[in-house]
Structure 1
Amino acid sequence: MRWTPNKVTLLRVLVGFAAVSLFGHRAWANLTAVGLTVAAIALDALDGQLAREKKMATPVGAQLDILGDRMIENVYFTYFAVVGMVSLWLPVLFFARGAATDFLRGLAMKAGHSGGANAMLRTWWGQALVASRWSRGLYAAMKCLCFCYLGLELALMRGPVALVGDLAADAHAMIRVGAHVLTWMTAAFCLLRGLPVLVEGWKYLAGSAGPVRGAKDAAQEAA
């Protein structure tokens, strides 16, 4: 079977969902889930590299890659919110940010920016924050660290099958603080990376609203 970037993206999503399905069972299942999480993040880098090296990058593939990112982010943060390890507002924030940026990207593509998901970005700082390799790599590393940290905490210290069991209150509190700092730092960087899309995409929203108003005014005048 010939591997394409889109197939790698699909595999990444399946691996991510498999990892989340293992969390919350036995401790070794939790550790296996952590390993699968690392594999899912690694596959995120692989599909992009494959697309560049084999010259197989397409606008549809770029959109599929973003969809895979959204699915992975939401399923992980939703699970950890449901089990009480992160705030419920965290998956809500990721979902809202993703919905807003994807909506604006869709308007940009409708306006003719079909060169990829980030073709709408015209400023250097927008390209640097969203499309550069260092930004994408740092964001992937932060998500991987965040998911693995929470997964290891789940495997080692939470529930009746925890490998470590009870810890001193101070140690447990310190680990919890680390989890909160890491998750909200990841969320902050997520919002920062979405800022250029929101700023530069606003003109497409305003532009699409103009014809609608014009059509309404014309209909009212005709009436």
Structure 2
Amino acid sequence: MNLPNRLTAARIFLVPVFLAILSLKVPYGDYIAAGVFILAASTDGLDGYIARKRKMVTRLGKFMDPLADKLMVSAALIALVELNRLSGWVAVIIIGRELAVTGLRSVAAAEGVVISASKLGKIKTVSQIIAIVAMFLHDFPFNMIQIPFGNLAMGVAVGFTIWSGMDYIMRSWYLLKKEA
């Protein structure tokens, strides 16, 4: 297993780690979980960069990388819903978009077409990570001045989630029409 794939595997391994920390109710657990989540999220860009730079792109990596991303974000969103910090509908929109785009990519792959991540999709991912971390941190340091940064950031993330999902659908509409 090459380095990029090991980084992706580490991201998958870190998901139950941050979930366990959140559920154990340890002192400063939310902050530790946020740190673990940030560590996991940082491997996302790094694994892809190394794979492309060193020409180490593999089928395993192409499969595992998006799976790891979706697992990480979905687990965090579900945990936030369980902790009563996030409305369930927000998690459904974000997770639903991820499933829809994955399905769209599967249809495209069956046609021999690769739908790569767009710049908008990457912005969506970064906005989701920022929002999730802010919610794990209870809006720190913005809570000192009464700014609900996590909710604002999650609103932005939902906006980018919907926008990027619509962008993927519009760019791939010809594939969907072909199937009908």
Q: 2:156 maps to what in 1?
A: 185
- Cα distance change, pair 21–87 in 1 and its aligned pair in 2 (3 A): same
Structure 1 Cα separation of the partners of residues 144 and 39 of structure 2: 28
Per-residue CA shift, 1:97-119, capped at 9, x if unaligned?
11111111111111111xx4418
Aligned positions, number: 177
Superposition CA RMSD, Å: 2.5
Structure 2 Cα separation of the partners of residues 140 and 207 of structure 1: 29
Higher Rg: 1
Q: 1:66 maps to what in 2?
A: 66
Q: Secondary structure at the match of 1:78?
A: helix
8 Å CA contact 2:135–2:151 kept in 1: the answer is no
8 Å CA contact 1:20–1:76 kept in 2: the answer is yes
Which runs of structure 1 show a deviation greater than 3 angstroms over 4 or more consecutive aligned residues? 138-141, 171-175
Normalising by the residue count of structure 1, what TM-score does the alignment of the two structures yield?
A: 0.70
Normalising by the residue count of structure 2, what TM-score does the alignment of the two structures yield?
A: 0.85
Q: Which runs of 5+ in 1 are unaligned?
A: 120-126, 131-135, 157-170, 210-223
Q: Which runs of 5+ in 2 are unaligned?
A: none
- Cα distance change, pair 15–128 in 1 and its aligned pair in 2 (3 A): closer
C-alpha displacement at 1:57, in angstroms?
A: 1.8
C-alpha displacement at 1:59, in angstroms?
A: 5.0
Q: 1:118 maps to what in 2?
A: 116
8 Å CA contact 1:12–1:43 kept in 2: the answer is yes
8 Å CA contact 2:11–2:41 kept in 1: the answer is yes
Per-residue CA shift, 1:18-39, capped at 9, x if unaligned?
1122114023232221111110
Q: Which amino acid aligns with 1:190?
A: T
Q: 1:159 maps to what in 2?
A: none
Per-residue CA shift, 1:53-95, capped at 9, x if unaligned?
2202245523321111111111101110111101111111112
Q: Secondary structure at the match of 1:20?
A: helix
Q: 1:198 maps to what in 2?
A: 169
8 Å CA contact 1:23–1:151 kept in 2: the answer is no
Instruction: Tell me: higher relative CO, structure 1 or 2? Use CA pairs within 8 A at least 6 residues apart.
Output: 1
1:150 paired to 2:135: yes
Q: Which amino acid aligns with 2:69?
A: D
